[in-house]
Each structure stands twice: as C-alpha cells, then as structure tokens.
Amino acid sequence: MAHPLVLSNESPYPQQDALLAEICRALQIDVGRQARAAKEYDEVTRWLNRTGGRFASVDTTVYPQGSTALGTTNPPHGGKGVKGDAAEYDLDAVVEIVRWQQSPVALLETLYDDLAANPRYERVIERKTRCVRLDFPNDFHLDLLPARADHAGGGTRIEIPDRELLCWLSSDPKAYAAWFHRRSDLRQQELTKASVEPLPDHLSADEKPPLARIVQLAKRRRDLRFNSSNSAPRSVVLTTLIANAYTGAPGLLAPLMASFDAIVTHATAVAPQIMHVPNPVNPDEDFSDRWRSDLAGRRAYDQFVQFATDFLAELRAFAATQGLENLRDRLAPLFGEAATLTAIRKYSERLAKASALGAVRSVGPAIVIGGERGTRVRPHEYFGR
C-alpha cells in the first residue's frame, strides 16, 4: 500500500517536491537489480543454513541493515548509478549467529570459508576488514557483517567485531531501523520476525515515506560534496540528525529545509563545542565520537557544520528559483547531472500523460495536474513535426 503521499497541495513547494521525488526515483535501486539482490540474499541464507555447513549447528539469521533496511540506499558517487547505469549499489546485511564462543576473527574467517565453499561465490567473494563482500560486477555488492547475539544485552542486540577484530562491540541495527520507521510513521513490520528476514519489499520512490527520501537526498548531497573524503559525515550521523529533526511537515523540500535548519541551529547553539549525536536506541553510544577523537575529527566536524549550513542555503535558493534551466543549474551540483536531467524529463512526461488523460486543470494563469481546482483542460495535440 502506498504511503500517504505528501506531494499534495498542503506542501508549500509542490512543484519542487515533484522534482525532488523524481530525483529520488532516479537514484532508487531499480526493480530488476532489487530482485537479483533479493535472490542472492536468499541464496546466502539457504547456503549458510545447509546441512553439513559450518553454521549448520547454530541458528543463523540474515537481515538487512543500514540504508538497505531503511530504504535510503543511493548509488555510489561518481556521477553514475542512476537508472540505466552500471555502477554497483552497496547493500549491507548482518549474519547473526546465535551462539559463538570464539574470537571475532574466527567468526569472520569461518563465514568467509563457508561462503567460499559455494562455487557460485568463488569468483565474487572478497574478505574485507570487518565483513565478507560478495561482489556482483556492474550490479551490486552485498556486504555481510558477521555478528553474534548479545544475550546479556537482550532484545535484538548483537555484538559485532570492532575495526581491529580484537573485541566485540554492542550494536542493535534492528532497533535502530525500528526507531527510524517509527519516525517515518511506518508501522513496524519485518522487524519482529524471528528468523530469515527478506530484504524490504521494493518500494518505489513515491511509496517510500518522505523521511527516507529526504535522508536519501541529504546523503546524495553529502556524497557529491565530500567526494569520498574520509571527513564526510557518516550516514548514521546524518540519518539520526535528520530523523530527530523531522516533524512530519508535508512535502519533501520543506521538511528537508526544516531538518537542516534545526541541525545548523543546534550546531550554532553548542558552538564551540561539538554536538552529540547519541544513538537513539542506545544513548550510551555516541555516533559523533569520531569528531572528538583527534584534530582531524574536529576538522571533519567543522566541515560537516559548513556542509549543513551551505546545503540549507542551497535548498533555500532552489526554493526561490524560477525556470527549469535555472533549476537544472541549481540541482545538478546538489544531486548530480544525470539524476537532475532524468527528473526534469520525467516531470515533463507526467504533464504529457496527464494532458492526454484530461487530468490537467487550468487555475488562473497557471496549470496543475489533478485536483479539483480550476477548470479541466481539453486534450489537444501540438501541431508540427
């Protein structure tokens, strides 16, 4: 069922929202790729649970985490990855082992060895620092993060290897996703299932809740601004700050501006201190700890505040811009040339479809698609070749 659309007349910027929604759609993982990812996901689950496998004697659960679970996945930066392009999407999943008494390194190696025994993965498997990657060229790569259940922490808590694979760190991606969905007004759905949990159903950009879409847009702007720099704010920091500031205001542009307005206001209020970004489901964890770790962290924080300030100004300028060429010039640096052109084209195609269906209405010196205001515009055909 479609999420109640916010592209309504309640928004102060319905046209800008329509363009931003088309940009989200252009960035969205396409249906075919999503289906292939879901198939691989099922295959991993089936393989790990097979009789005779290394994990056959322990309960193993695989579930999406991060942007994959939140519906905020973007194509990687580089100007590629929008529809029709070949760039790989980065999909993340947790492989949770109910009981694991050995070291984090042993868990990672066992997971690697077990997956490598599958001939299908022979050529696509790669061991990363903390996870095992299945790399399907020109399509997507699936990062599988090994974890064990945190029986002491209870609930949905897990323990994951730290960066050096020396010890376990507490984490709770399920609870975080549940919190995000609550902020989005989405009902908790897949999050209470006990065993294998499928990738979230493919949601079109229009069906996704506005919060997921504005996070998607902010992450895309971050990617273009920081261009893979290590000082880029982490996705979880951006997501948490935006979701915390989200008020449910209708539309996309208005809540996006409101979120960044709140972030900038907060940063100004705590200056020269560094703002805290506690994990909403584990207040003892501070997502912003890296900003306090050293001088480079402080510089990264200052760059983040400047990014937020600039993005707010960019969005305000976009809100005040007239003319599709001017809008193209505003949007392309923010979200990419290809996504912007696709969005403007789709925006125009919507009018053509509505016009053919007699769904365009004339309201004073303007026109609108749908609704009850004004008078219905007769279908017509432009003349000429």
Partner 1 sequence: MPRTNRAWTLWEQRTWVERLIPGAVAWASNTYLDVHATLQPTPIHHAYSVHIKFRIGGEPRVHVLNPSLQPRRRGDRIPHTYAADEPCLYWPNGRQWAPWMLLATTIIPWTNEWLWHYESWRVTRHWDGGGIEHDANGPVLTGAPPGCYY
Stretch that binds partner 1, among 133-141, 192-200, 296-304, 361-369 (CB under 8 A): 361-369
* Of the candidates 229, 226, 231, the residue with the CA atom closest to the CA atom of residue 295: 231
372 binds partner 1 per the rule CB under 8 A: no
263 binds partner 1 per the rule CB under 8 A: no
Binders of partner 1 in range 17-56 (CB under 8 A): 19
317 binds partner 1 per the rule CB under 8 A: no
Q: How far apart are CA 12 and CA 252, in angstroms?
A: 10
Q: Which of 51, 123, 129, 381 binds partner 1 (CB under 8 A)?
A: 381
- Provide, rounded to whole angstroms, the least separation between the CB of residue 370 and partner 1: 13
Stretch that binds partner 1, among 14-22, 62-70, 112-120, 300-308 (CB under 8 A): 14-22
360 binds partner 1 per the rule CB under 8 A: yes
The DSSP secondary structure of 86-147, one letter per residue, reads -PPEEEEEEEEES---S-HHHHHHHHHHHHHTSGGGTTTEEE-SSSEEEEETTTEEEEEEEE
User: Could you identify the residue written with the tokens 């290897």?
Assistant: 161
- Provide, rounded to whole angstroms, the least separation between the CB of residue 18 and partner 1: 9
Q: How far apart are CA 284 and CA 312, in angstroms?
A: 30
User: Could you identify the residue written with the tokens 């939140």?
Assistant: 70
Q: Which of 10, 345, 370, 373 binds partner 1 (CB under 8 A)?
A: 345
Tell me if residue 170 falls in helix, strand or coil.
strand
Q: Give 83's Cβ-side CA count (13 Å radius).
A: 17
Q: Which of 152, 272, 322, 372 binds partner 1 (CB under 8 A)?
A: 322
Q: Which of 286, 310, 328, 359 binds partner 1 (CB under 8 A)?
A: 328
**CB-nearer residue toward partner 1: 56 or 351:** 351
Q: Angle, to 10 degrees, between the axis of helix 173-183 and the axis of helix 235-245?
A: 40
Stretch that binds partner 1, among 2-10, 136-144, 262-270, 357-365 (CB under 8 A): 357-365
303 binds partner 1 per the rule CB under 8 A: no
Count of beta carbons in the 10 Å neighbourhood of residue 226? 17
355 binds partner 1 per the rule CB under 8 A: yes
Q: Which of 166, 270, 356, 357 binds partner 1 (CB under 8 A)?
A: 356
377 binds partner 1 per the rule CB under 8 A: yes
Stretch that binds partner 1, among 91-99, 237-245, 306-314, 347-355 (CB under 8 A): 347-355
- CA distance to 167, 176, 185, 286, per residue, from 283 (Å): 21, 12, 22, 7
316 binds partner 1 per the rule CB under 8 A: no
Number of residues located near partner 1, criterion CB under 8 A: 37
Q: Which of 57, 101, 230, 375 binds partner 1 (CB under 8 A)?
A: 375
CB 222, CB 307: distance < 8 Å: yes
Q: How far apart are CA 248 and CA 324, in angstroms?
A: 28
Q: How far apart are CA 14 and CA 346, in angstroms?
A: 15
**Applying CB under 8 A, which residues contact partner 1?**
15-16, 19, 321-325, 327-328, 341, 344-345, 347-349, 351-352, 355-356, 360, 362, 364-368, 375-378, 380-385
